[in-house]
Amino acid sequence: MTCILVTGASGFVGRAVCERALSLGMKVKGTHRSVSSQSLVPAGVERIQVQTVDQDTDWSRALAGVEVVLHLAGRVHMAKDTAKDPLAIHREVNTAGTERLARMAIVAGVRRLVYVSTVKVNGEQSSNVPFTEADVPQPEDPYAISKWEAEQLLCRIGVETEMEVVILRPPLVYGIGVGANFLRLLHLARRGVPLPLGSVSNRRSLIYVKNLADAILRTAIHPAAAGQTFLVSDGEDLSTPELIGRIANAMELTARVFRCPRHLLSVLGYLLGRSPEIRRLLSSLAVDCTKIYSETGWKPPYTMSQGLKETIEWYLAGEPLTREVSSASTAYFPRLGPTSKQ
């Protein structure tokens, strides 16, 4: 029986990964940050508290007997970062903390480490052609820069040692328990707030959390994944109006989207001091998943329609409106409006 360690097991993605690993018959150990988050780790997982992730973290207990590490824990992207030096703080957790885990994993005899990074390493927006793994990385914000630096460290470790390294770069992640801006979008759709996005013709990639969990577990065990970097998504790209329409339709509502010239939206964003958010809202961020398909045979087990349906059923059932922000779901949809449910 393969024994795996999932760091960040109490998080949005971590919980889905643990559940998928358990369903595959694996022995699962999972780290959580606090006593209060322990209950979020799925039943059947050996729970281990790791309060901080940095260059001094002691992973020895968590790594004991582990063959594969799935590293999800880290400092997430924050639109309004109040730290005096955001890059230094992100590096402390996402770069130095990841290197510390990898070095200790080698000593512990871990065979493979799967690192969940972010498509933001590729850049903030794609052109007419979707991002691929061959593109030159263009990280812009502290979060993406720290993730890219961690990727480079891991790649060097993979070359210099016998531990195999796999890197995944997901786009926006959605599903049961989603928080942050995708949850705000659900609020707006449910409340019927008119949105001036009818003229937007961009392409955005997303990934359902259960699809991401499945991809992580596939690359954790597939021989051809060793030493590789993969972009992953649901395999279907939508424009912003199309996504809003899909959400409203699943809620049995009519999407309230009207046309507004793109340049006026850009001017509005500038006047409100929200230009970066508006740019992301209007721009494309699409990925090409050909490599993971061809190298590992992985295909998304769920369609986007299935993923959105389950997400919205959870939302309409009255789940808590404030959720833990996942590292993968904060960077791709700007704050669209108030978070309170009315």
**What are 193's two structure tokens?**
């707030």
- What is d(CA 255, CA 258) in angstroms, rounded to the nearest whole number? 9
Q: Which CATH number fits domain 3-172+208-231: 3.40.50.620, 3.30.2320.50, 3.40.50.720, 3.40.640.10?
A: 3.40.50.720
Q: Looking at residue 256, what DSSP letter applies?
A: -
Ranges of each domain in the chain: 3-172+208-231
- Establish how many alpha carbons lie within 13 A of residue 48's alpha carbon, considering only the half-sphere containing its beta carbon: 19
Which entry of 115, 143, 174, 302 is annotated as an active-site residue?
143
Note the pLDDT of residue 274: 74
Amino acid type, 55:
Q
Nearest CA to 62 out of 70, 94, 75, 164 is that of 70
Instruction: Return the pLDDT at 322.
Output: 38
Please tell me the predicted confidence (pLDDT) of residue 82. Answer: 67
Task: Give the per-residue pLDDT at 248.
Answer: 93
143 is catalytic: yes
**How would you write the pLDDT of the chain (342 residues) with one tens digit per residue?**
799 999 999 999 999 999 999 999 999 999 999 998 999 999 999 999 999 999 999 999 999 999 999 999 998 865 556 678 889 999 999 999 999 999 999 999 999 999 999 999 999 999 889 999 999 999 999 999 999 999 999 999 999 999 999 999 999 999 998 987 788 889 988 988 888 888 888 999 999 999 999 999 999 999 999 999 999 999 999 999 999 999 999 999 988 888 888 888 888 877 877 777 777 778 899 999 999 999 999 999 999 999 999 999 999 998 443 333 333 333 333 333 333 332
